[in-house]
Structure formats: C-alpha cells, structure tokens
C-alpha cells in the first residue's frame, strides 16, 4: 500500500460563496491562540504532521466524524462542506457524500494534550474525548463578566481585572464591605436594563457586585448579587450578605457568590440574589414615591474549616 501523503491538504482555490482571501487568511492565522502542541502522544511521539492532517484546510479546526473527502482524496470537515457549497476547495471537484473512514480511524488511535496545556492543564485525552473535556476544562479562559455589552474578551483573572478597569472603567475597591447607593428619577419605567458593576478585592480574590433594574412581568424589580472571579469550587469557600432598608424595615439576603463561569444573565434569570419589588423599593425610598433612593450594604467573608469540630466558621474581613 502506498504511503499517505502528509502534505496533500492545501487550500488553493474556492467556489462561490467563500472568498479566496478569507480562506487563505484562516489557513495562515492558525487557531492556536494558546500555543500549538509540540507532539501527539500515543505509545510514544507521533509526528505533528499527523495532527495537521486532521485539521480542516478551510477553518483549520480539528476534524471530527463525519470527515468528508472528494474523489481526489482532499478532506474537510462537515461544517465547511456546506460552507463551500459541496465543492472541494482544493481541486474544485464535487464532494458528494464520501466519508474518509481511514482518517477517522487514525483519529481514534491518537491521544492529544488539552489545548489549554500552556495555561497549566496536564491532561491527555483520546482524540474524540478531547473536545468534551475542553468545554469544561478548569484551565480554560474566563469570559469578561461585564454585563453592559456583549463583550467577547476572554482571559485569565488578572487580565480580566485590568480589562474591566481600563476598558470598561469599572470602579475597583479593596475590602470586604460595601455601601452601594442607587438613585433613579423615574422608577416606574425600565425600558432597558439599568445596571451597575463594582469589583472588590479581598482575601486575595476578586468579586463582582452587580446591581440592576429589569422588567419582571409588568413591573420592574431591582436586584443585587455577587459573582466570584474564579471557578465554582473556589466560590463555595466564600459567603456574602446584602441588606437594603428604610422606614424601619429591611430585607437581608445571604448566599454564596456564583462563579463568573455562569453568565450574568444566567445568574440574574435564576433570581439568585437580593430582589426588591418596586413597591417595596419605593417604600424604602420614602418621600413622595416619585424617586427611587436605595442603599444596599453588604459584606463578604470566607468560610474556614474548624480543625477540631469540622464546622465551618466565618473569617470576617477586618
């Protein structure tokens, strides 16, 4: 049997609907922002060119079944098959429905490092298990927790803290207590979600305090909640309380901060925080009920394990 040509995949032309510059650019700017693995691991070192053979020449992502090929043996992923209108981007021949079973079998025999290995992940996985792990990998970058726009920035926590401060102009505070004042001239209308974000640094960690108004049913509600800038397992080590009141009454919320792995909308829509109905908010505001004036106070503490009794005791921030 003839040996497989390792460099046979090359994108040289396209059909209608896909611009030549677009494809050449995607091939040139390889999607390995965290660094490309040096080796493919399976019973020793396997040449990196085998890994490259499993990369789609159009999108440069790793190919998973079904892997398609044209009559001349050029391969591409199922997503890009539709994108190039069922025409081979290399030889311009019709792709048809031919599966490259040999390449799929090769993929089954490979074990690869997680793509976040440069961020510290030591795991190695069979080729077909790798994607599932990477969607949940604890070393994967975090998404920007800013709620005011569809920000697509990702990175580690120090990078995101700098990003929030410099690009989103978020207020930064040191300490584990807070006093948040919210004033709104027309509390009966919430055309768009009105929100505020403050970042607190304590216990060597960063926390995002969200406060916002949004429509729930026919009336607006006001909500405050805390998110932890880290993973959920670490978030469980902390607790927080929020308090709002006026006219001799008050509401108190106590809970565990949610990880920023959970999106802002997911936390908000789960109502996991201090929720103040409009009538109660106006009552707290006093006056003629035409202006909303709320003051939300709170604190963060770390739960510590008591080595003697095995009971969690709060470590309050001074």
Q: What's residue 141's pLDDT?
A: 93
pLDDT at 6: 35
Q: What is the largest CA-CA distance in the chain?
A: 89
Q: What's the pLDDT at 236? A: 95
Q: Which portions of the chain are predicted below pLDDT 50?
A: 1-47, 192, 307, 309-312, 318
Q: What is the pLDDT of residues 105-123, one digit of tens each?
A: 888 888 888 889 888 899 8
């Amino acid at each position: 049997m003839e040996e497989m040509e390792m460099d046979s995949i090359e994108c040289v032309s396209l059909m209608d609907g896909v611009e030549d510059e677009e494809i050449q650019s995607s091939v040139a700017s390889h999607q390995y922002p965290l660094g490309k693995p040096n080796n493919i691991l399976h019973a020793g070192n396997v040449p990196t060119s085998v890994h490259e053979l499993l990369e789609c020449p159009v999108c440069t992502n790793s190919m998973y079944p079904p892997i398609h090929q044209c009559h001349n043996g050029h391969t591409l992923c199922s997503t890009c098959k539709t994108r190039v209108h069922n025409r081979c981007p290399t030889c311009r021949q019709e792709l048809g429905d031919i599966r490259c079973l040999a390449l799929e079998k090769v993929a089954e025999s490979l074990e690869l490092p997680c793509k976040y290995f440069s961020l510290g992940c030591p795991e190695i996985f069979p080729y077909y298990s790798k994607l599932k792990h990477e969607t949940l990998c604890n070393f994967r970058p975090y998404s920007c927790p800013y709620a005011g726009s569809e920000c697509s920035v990702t990175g580690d926590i120090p990078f995101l803290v700098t990003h929030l401060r410099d690009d989103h102009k978020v207020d930064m505070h040191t300490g584990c207590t807070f006093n948040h004042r919210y004033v709104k001239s027309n509390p009966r209308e919430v055309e768009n979600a009105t929100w505020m974000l403050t970042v607190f640094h304590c216990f060597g960690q960063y926390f995002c305090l969200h406060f916002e108004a949004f429509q729930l049913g026919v009336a607006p509600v006001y909500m405050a909640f805390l998110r932890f800038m880290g993973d959920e397992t670490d978030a469980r080590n902390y607790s927080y309380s929020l308090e709002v009141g006026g006219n001799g009454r008050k509401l108190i919320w106590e809970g565990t901060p949610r990880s920023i792995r959970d999106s802002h909308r997911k936390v908000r829509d789960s109502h996991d925080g201090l929720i103040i109905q409009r009538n109660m908010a106006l009552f707290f505001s006093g006056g003629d009920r035409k202006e909303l004036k709320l003051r939300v106070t709170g604190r963060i503490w770390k739960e510590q394990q008591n080595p003697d009794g095995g009971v969690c005791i709060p470590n309050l921030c001074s």
